[in-house]
């Protein structure tokens, strides 16, 4: 885990659930970088 390549541990039993969690994480990180939003 580094600042350039952070790891994300996804706790999910189903592939679709895991994909949704990853997408939420990506959206959150993009919002933090683009608009300074911390949480929704």
Decide if pLDDT at 15 tops 80: yes
- How much of the chain, in percent, has pLDDT values that exceed 90? 42
Cβ contact 11:20 at 8 Å? no
pLDDT at 27 over 60: yes
pTM: 0.71
CA distance 31 to 18: 20
Residue 5: per-residue pLDDT: 78
Predicted confidence (pLDDT) at residue 38 exceeds the cutoff of 80: no
Structure tokens at 28: 């959150």
Q: Which residue's entry shows tokens 């929704």?
A: 40
**Whether the Cβ atoms of residue 20 and residue 26 lie closer than 8 Å to each other:** no
Question: Measured between alpha carbons, how far is residue 39 from residues 1, 13, 14, 15, 27 in Å?
Answer: 22, 25, 25, 25, 11
pLDDT at residue 3 in the model: 75
């Amino acid at each position: 885990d580094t600042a350039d390549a952070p790891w994300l541990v996804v706790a999910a039993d189903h592939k679709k659930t895991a994909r949704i969690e990853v997408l939420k994480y990506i959206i959150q990180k993009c919002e933090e970088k683009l608009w300074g939003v911390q949480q929704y």
